[in-house]
Structure 1
Amino acid sequence: MSNTAALPTATQQQLQTQASCTSRVLHPSLLKQPQTVASASGSYITLASGHRILDGCAGAAVAIIGHGNKDVQAAIVEQMSTVPYTHAIAFTTRSAEDLADLLLEGRPHGLCAAYFVCSGSEAVDSALKLARQYHVENGQPGRTRLVARRQAYHGNTIGAMSVGSHVARTAPYRDALLLDNVRHVSPAYDYRGRLDGETDEAYAERLVDELDAELRSLGPETVMAFIAEPVGGSTAGCITAPRGYFEGVRRVCDRYGVLLILDEVMCGMGRTGTYFAFAQEGDVRPDLVTLGKGLGGGYAPIAGVLAHERVIDVLRRGSGAFNNGHTYQAHPLSCAAALAVQRVVRRDGLVAQCAAKGA
């Protein structure tokens, strides 16, 4: 008699599926073999089975100019033929310098420096480290705490998970690996959080007052940064803040010397109708901004942190360095791909099209 004969039907099906899953890749599911993509072009992907699928979500909100763009392909091939790799701790490349120049042309919102990594999670961790180093070099090493928002998602590395609050993804690690110096306040979640009859202004003020109270409860001199998504993404859907919220957050952070980190890995790169989503929130001027996903459009793994001149000035007057580094930091091929993608975005007026048609 088979050992599985007495098992519930669902369990039998899982075992059968598991037996048929022969991939040696550790996929998100061990019980289901994912479909194999054979090709991708424009807004469509084609499976090995021949089925053609509209990539309506652009992968994980990534492929902002579609698949198979010839200009991007040419840029990658050209970079591959000149400098495919160099270590960014010792050297730089034209593709990295040109990408930073393009993103920071005119010092938008006071942002003056770019740090390139391979994923949004790495970008968030790098921003947290940069915030910490800023305070240490600014003579305030006692600032060791972070404040974030509930129902937020900032990535899957330890630091990024710690400031996020995706329950299912963080649960196995909460009492073992995640940081214990993070506190969470209410999200700007109109559908769930706004009181009956409450105006935008009143709701924003209540949320800002909650942040202010949390900082005072912790001791504002112990807090290094507050991190938030201008538009919510993976955990609670596409959620925007009430009018005046982020301006109020900026005032509170300024009041207590807390850095403001805005995570635009998902909502940035023009998909809200302005290049930075926070640009629609008034006079916000974040100290650090994380970018990703649409930065490289899926053509190569790349993300980054943009830093305000007031942060960079402190480091320049202090150690003169950012105490961080990755093997594939500012990878030449990734920077070349991202540069080509961003040139297409500007050439084809895609941000203006988002504003006119809806993100």
Structure 2
Amino acid sequence: MSPSAVLHRQLHQAPTLALSGEGSYITLEDGRRILDATGGAAVSCLGHSNAEVRQAMIDQINQLSYCHTAYFSTKPFEELASLLIESTGEKMSKVYIVSSGSEAMEAAMKLSRQFYLEKANPEPQRTKFIARKQSYHGITIGSLSMGGHKFRRELFEPILLPNVSHVSPCNPYRNRKDGESNEEYIARLADELDAEFQRLGPETVCAFVAEPVVGAAMGCVPSVPGYFKAMKAICEKYGALFILDEVMSGMGRCGTLHAWEQEDVVPDMQTIGKGLGGGYAPIAGLLIGDKVIKTLEESTGSFRHGHTYQGHPVSCAAALAVQRVIQEENLVENVRAMGVLFEEELRKRLSDHPHVGDIRGKGLFWGIELVRDKTTKEPFDPNLQLAFKIQDKGLEAKYSISLYCGQGTADGIAGDHILLAPPYNTTREEIVRIVEVLQAVLEDVFGELKV
């Protein structure tokens, strides 16, 4: 049993202490210098110890470290909100700032419900949500209910919300039929969503919720072009809201500041998180469209929801500094450029690997799905714990790389993937290094397993 007083994710093994970070590297207590190829969980978009962000936080702490948003606002809160709305080209109207992506999804769910109650012609029967299988939207009861990740849900199924149902994700590698075109695949998924509205009673549905690029649950799976446009059309047909979860894939990670900019859609609401503050302080948010805001303005004029730490001034100062660095250094452009190189290197080195089934992603958000049989796409037995063997192997001194690995890729239980998400200011040398080391880690792990 670990002597640590912390309830770590694993009780029988405390993680190694991280002492410092600089750029794309984290230094551990035993002296290892780890190449952070994933930004933690696609969080550290500027890497570690950015001087400008650190100073912004110090300056804010020296001025005002906390005040309650029921009574006061603060300059960094207001400036961050203005910057975010401007970043959408005024397509979104207001911002709600919280401390985590789970909180942002909870806010989206509650605001959806309140929107329908406050319409000129209220629709109190709208209480249901449709999301997608093999999705992840957070770990609180509401957000976990929204998600379709079997493993994360299974212990808590009896206490999850009964008013969320799930349709198929857009995963062409796994689910597009042989010979099926993108248009035919989209039409099939649109028909499935339409049928789910009909099954539930379309007048009872608040919203459809999806990730533009599925991150933790499936390993960086983008939709096929045109998919989200078709999904939004179904929502509009039945008067439901269209909500995109960009906590992991947004704020520049996929090569545009907002992932929906590449999908030719604008959501009614959008959650953001990890790349917003880059890990310098806990922060996430909900961007809200004008339709929803106008309804509230014309009714109660308030959102009946609040957190002690919403709009926290130090977190807002950190996020504001992060976003200014991204703008000033043209880092989203670097994401696109390095993303092209990343894809080239991954395909060059890993496409022919006998157990690499799929390489997919956008920008600096890439996933590798591993399979036992490349032809049949059969996944490895989940009891093998392949993903975590790869993750642990990468941390060994010989490799010194942090890899974000996950299971359940194929069906929610079986299947393994590796997620890669280096910082937006990464270099060509780092990208090449990440792929070289990953290749060596895979060769070592599969050599030991003899599969």
Q: TM-score, normalised by structure 2?
A: 0.74
Q: Distance in 1 between matches of 2:95 and 2:238?
A: 26
SS at match of 2:116: helix
Tell me, yes or no, if the aligned pair for 2:88 and 2:258 is still in contact at 8 Å.
Answer: no
Match of 2:217 among 229, 235, 250: 235
Find out whether 1:153 has 2:136 as its counterpart: yes
Confirm whether residue 222 of structure 1 aligns to residue 213 of structure 2.
no
2:227 matched residue in structure 1: 245
1:168 maps to which of 151, 159, 169? 151
Indicate the residue corresponding to 1:7 in structure 2: none
Query: Counterparts of 1:208 and 1:141 in 2: how far apart (Å)?
Result: 26
Instruction: After the TM superposition, list the runs of 4 or more consecutive aligned residues in structure 1 that deviate by more than 3 angstroms.
Output: none
Map Cα deviations across residues 237-256 of structure 1 (whole Å, 9 max, x no partner).
Answer: 11111111100111111111
Q: Aligned partners of 2:207 and 2:69: how far apart in 1?
A: 27
Three-state SS of the structure 2 residue aligned to 1:248 is helix
In structure 1, the partner of 2:178 is 196
Residue 276 of structure 1: CA displacement?
Answer: 0.7
| Partner of residue 260, structure 2 | 278
**Match for 2:320 among 339, 343, 348?**
339
In 2, the alpha carbon distance for the partners of 1:270 and 1:107 equals 12
Give, in whole Å, the separation in 2 of the partners of 1:107 and 1:195.
36
Residue equivalent to 2:272: 291
Deviations 1:309-339, CA, capped at 9 Å, x for gaps? 1100000101100111000000000000000
Provide the rounded CA distance (Å) in 1 between the counterparts of 2:336 and 2:171: 23
Task: Give 1:285 deviation, angstroms.
Answer: 1.4
The number of equivalent residue pairs is 338
1: CA distance, partners of 2:192 / 2:332: 34
1:260 partnered with 2:213: no
DSSP-derived class of the 1:214 partner: helix
Give the deviation of 1:88 after TM superposition. 1.0
Instruction: Determine helix, strand or coil for the equivalent of 1:110.
Output: coil
Residue 90 of structure 1 corresponds to 71
2:18 match: 37
Aligned-partner Cα distance in 2 for 1:73–1:323: 34
Q: Tell me, which stretches of 5 or more residues in structure 1 are unaligned?
A: 1-17
Offset at residue 107 of structure 1 (A) = 5.2
- Kept after mapping to 2: 8 A contact 1:109/1:285: no
Does structure 2 retain, via aligned residues, the 8 Å contact 1:83–1:332?
yes
Contact 1:37 1:48 in 2 (8 A): yes
After superposition, the C-alpha distances for 1:57-110 in whole angstroms (9 at most, x for unaligned) are 001110000110010011001100111100012211000000011111175362
CA contact (8 A) 1:42 1:66 kept: yes
- 1:78 match: secondary structure: helix
* Aligned residues with identical type, % of pairs: 51
Map Cα deviations across residues 153-176 of structure 1 (whole Å, 9 max, x no partner): 00100111001011121111101x
Equivalent position to 2:104, from 114, 123, 132: 123
Q: 2:127 aligns with which of 144, 155, 178?
A: 144
Per-residue CA shift, 1:221-271, capped at 9, x if unaligned?
000011000000111111111111100111111111100110000000111
Structure-1-length-normalised TM-score: 0.93
Q: Deviations for 1:12-39, whole angstroms, at most 9, x for unmatched residues?
A: xxxxxx2xx1000100000001100011
**Is contact 1:130-1:322 (8 Å) kept?**
yes
163-172 or 180-189, which moves further after superposition? 163-172
Residue 136 to residue 30, structure 1, CA distance change in 2 (3 Å):
same
Structure 2: where are the runs of 5+ without partners? 340-362, 364-451
Q: 1:317 and 1:234, CA in 2 relative to 1: closer, same or farther beyond 3 A?
A: same
Which one-letter code corresponds to 2:86 in the other structure?
Answer: E
- Structure 2 vs 1, CA of residues 316 and 107 (structure 1 numbering), >3 Å: closer, same or farther? farther
Please identify, of 120-129 and 98-107, the stretch whose mean Cα deviation from structure 2 is larger: 98-107
Equivalent residues of 1:148, 1:183 under 8 A apart: yes
**Local SS of the residue matching 1:39:** strand
